[in-house]
């Protein structure tokens, strides 16, 4: 879902239209200019398009005119009329690439579950004083959490063990306003930091003949645990929010 759809869902819930709000979960939006003149000189009206999964599209097509008007009114509250943009129409269309999007969601959920498993695994290893192994698990938790987050928000994920600034900048632009207090930007820092130790935590400094047990102790493992928890629970909260925006 994009930010406009999330805002629509919130507005509909505020109007006690939870049934309509539920129909928009999982939808996406786009604004397209029409060839019909609007209120301003030589300016055209635009159409707000809601792209919905097939099942929801079929249900949206059957809603009454009153409900369509309610949705359009909420859209107009989001985009007040001005010389640059004047929305006059509402339309529903089937979500493009629906199968791919559903596959991405399933994959993101799978990665998030694995991330939670890696967090638990790391905690168990930490209790056994196996610090390098614990750090490896926490690092994988961080990586899987961020890949899941990226897939949910952008339909893409980094093929590397870390994200570059441009990739994460796009992620930040898609964070729902209600979750901005969770400091998603810190996840980029944690990913960037711990990805540097991906190989070292497993094999140590081979050129110097120093194993990972000489490099990582309790303090480093505790720090990795805190960062992994932040990444996992922040990504989990995003998943839950996208399933039911408030």
pTM attached to this predicted model: 0.86
Both 76 and 115 in one domain: the answer is no
Q: Out of 64, 94, 124, pick the residue that ends a domain.
A: 94
Residue 162 binned pLDDT confidence (cut-offs 50, 70, 90): low
Domains identified in the chain, total number: 2
State the average pLDDT for the chain. Answer: 92
CATH number at residue 210: 1.20.120.330
In the predicted structure, residue 157 carries a pLDDT above the cut 80: no
Both 89 and 102 in one domain: the answer is no
Both 236 and 186 in one domain: the answer is yes
Both 138 and 222 in one domain: the answer is yes
**E strand spans, the chain:** 28-37, 44-52, 87-94
3-state DSSP assignment of residue 211: coil
Cα separation, 112 vs 106, in Å, equals 10
Q: Out of 36, 69, 94, pick the residue that ends a domain.
A: 94
Pairing of strands 87-94, 44-52: parallel
In the predicted structure, residue 158 carries a pLDDT above the cut 80: no
Both 158 and 107 in one domain: the answer is yes
Q: Out of 78, 94, 110, pick the residue that ends a domain.
A: 94
Longest dimension (CA), the chain: 76
Both 206 and 114 in one domain: the answer is yes
Edge-first strand order for the sheet with 28-37 is 28-37, 44-52, 87-94
Both 227 and 123 in one domain: the answer is yes
Return the pLDDT at 160. 67
Both 225 and 114 in one domain: the answer is yes
Both 57 and 111 in one domain: the answer is no
Alpha-carbon dihedral sign for residues 18, 20, 25, 28? negative
Both 120 and 175 in one domain: the answer is yes
Q: Which distant-in-sequence residues (6+ apart) come within 8 Å of 88 by Cβ?
A: 34, 36, 38, 45, 46, 47
Domain extent, residue 135, equals: 98-243
Cα separation, 172 vs 193, in Å, equals 18
Both 131 and 32 in one domain: the answer is no
Residue 104 binned pLDDT confidence (cut-offs 50, 70, 90): very high
Cα separation, 212 vs 125, in Å, equals 14
């Amino acid at each position: 879902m994009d930010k406009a759809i999330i805002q629509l869902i919130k507005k509909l819930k505020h109007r006690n239209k939870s049934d309509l709000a539920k129909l928009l979960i999982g939808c996406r939006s786009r604004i397209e200019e029409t060839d019909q003149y609007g209120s301003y000189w030589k300016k055209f009206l635009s159409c707000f398009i809601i792209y919905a999964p097939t099942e929801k599209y079929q249900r949206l097509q059957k809603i009454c005119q009153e409900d369509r008007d309610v949705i359009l009114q909420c859209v107009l509250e989001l985009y007040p009329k001005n010389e640059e943009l004047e929305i006059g129409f509402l339309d529903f269309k089937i979500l493009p690439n629906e199968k791919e999007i559903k596959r991405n969601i399933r994959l993101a959920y799978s990665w998030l579950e694995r991330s939670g498993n890696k967090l638990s695994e790391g905690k168990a290893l930490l209790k056994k004083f196996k610090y390098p192994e614990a750090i490896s698990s926490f690092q994988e938790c961080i990586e899987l959490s961020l890949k899941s987050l990226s897939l949910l928000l952008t339909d893409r994920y980094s093929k590397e063990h870390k994200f570059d600034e441009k990739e994460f900048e796009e992620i930040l632009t898609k964070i729902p306003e209600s979750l901005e207090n969770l400091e998603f930007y810190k996840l980029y820092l944690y990913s960037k930091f711990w990805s540097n130790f991906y190989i070292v935590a497993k094999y140590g400094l081979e050129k110097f003949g120093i194993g990972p047990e000489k490099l990582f102790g309790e303090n480093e493992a505790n720090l990795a645990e805190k960062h992994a928890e932040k990444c996992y629970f922040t990504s989990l909260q995003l998943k839950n929010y996208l399933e039911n925006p408030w």
